[in-house]
Amino acid sequence: MTVQQEAPGGEALEVWIDQDLCTGDGICAQYAPEVFELDIDGLAYVKGADDELLQAEGAVAPVPLPLLTDVLDSTRECPGECIHVRRVSDGAEVYGPGAE
């Protein structure tokens, strides 16, 4: 079952990581272990709604509303500047290095 989560503005958000820029420090997994995890290659990946690690580069996962603050803290603190949060509806980056 896919659960749509919405940000306070009413927009469903999703998150992906650019593994090419990930430093593997694990800050994201400390802030939001329900959403981010380091794989055996030492890089961070997102987790799907069923807690499954999505091991494809650039895989996209929904941002659960209760975890939005943790995800945004991760995005802000990520030294690789490689965590991207975007709107599901139009794919626009709303938090992260590509946000306006």
Residue 27 binding ligand SF4, by CB under 6 A = yes
Sign of CA dihedral 33, 76, 11, 58: negative
Token pair in block for residue 95: 């938090």
Residue 61 binding ligand SF4, by CB under 6 A = no
Residue 71 binding ligand SF4, by CB under 6 A = no
Cβ proximity to ligand SF4: between 62 and 78 the closer is 78
Residue 22 binding ligand SF4, by CB under 6 A = yes
Residue 80 binding ligand SF4, by CB under 6 A = yes
